Amino acid sequence: MTSSSNPSFHILVVEDDKTTQDMLCQMLGLLGHHPHCVSSAEEAAEPLRTRQFDILFADIQLPGMSGIEFAEIAVKTTPGIKVIFASGFNFLVTDKTSFRFALLPKPYGLDQLHNAIETVCPRD
């Protein structure tokens, strides 16, 4: 699935479940991307301020600030960042955001993850 024609993205991953976080970050690496993984929106605030990310990948339900609330901040403070939400629940998110995003239902595999990335960052 990875090839020299596929772009490589820097992805901020916010996932509170450690097993899911580890699996997701491994899959992103297999796809040729550079994940930076944290467990909460509060923990993600510092790298969002100090590093450059192409994509925010956030679980919707997080302890403390939700993934949706954090994405609103990320979109306002990081021009051009794209957003992918993941959720194990059937959320209606479109009426809660002012930006475009991809929604990836859990559980997902490598192909679904790749497709979500292609949705928010299509190849030219």
pLDDT at 5: 61
Distance CA 21, CA 7 (A): 22
pTM of the entire structure? 0.91
Q: Among 23, 19, 16, which Cα is nearest to 67's? A: 16
Type and span of the H or E element at 55: strand 55-59
pLDDT, tens digit, 9 for 90 and up, residues 64-84: 999 999 999 999 999 999 999
Report the pLDDT value the prediction gives residue 83, as an integer from 0 to 100: 97
Which tokens belong to 64? 């403390």
How far is Cα 84 from Cα 100, in angstroms, rounded to an integer?
A: 9
Q: Where are the alpha helices (DSSP H) in 6-109?
A: 18-30, 41-50, 67-77
- Tell me the pLDDT tens digit for each residue of 9-52: 999 999 999 999 999 999 999 999 999 999 999 999 999 999 99
Domain boundaries, the chain: 13-120
CATH code for 13-120?
3.40.50.2300
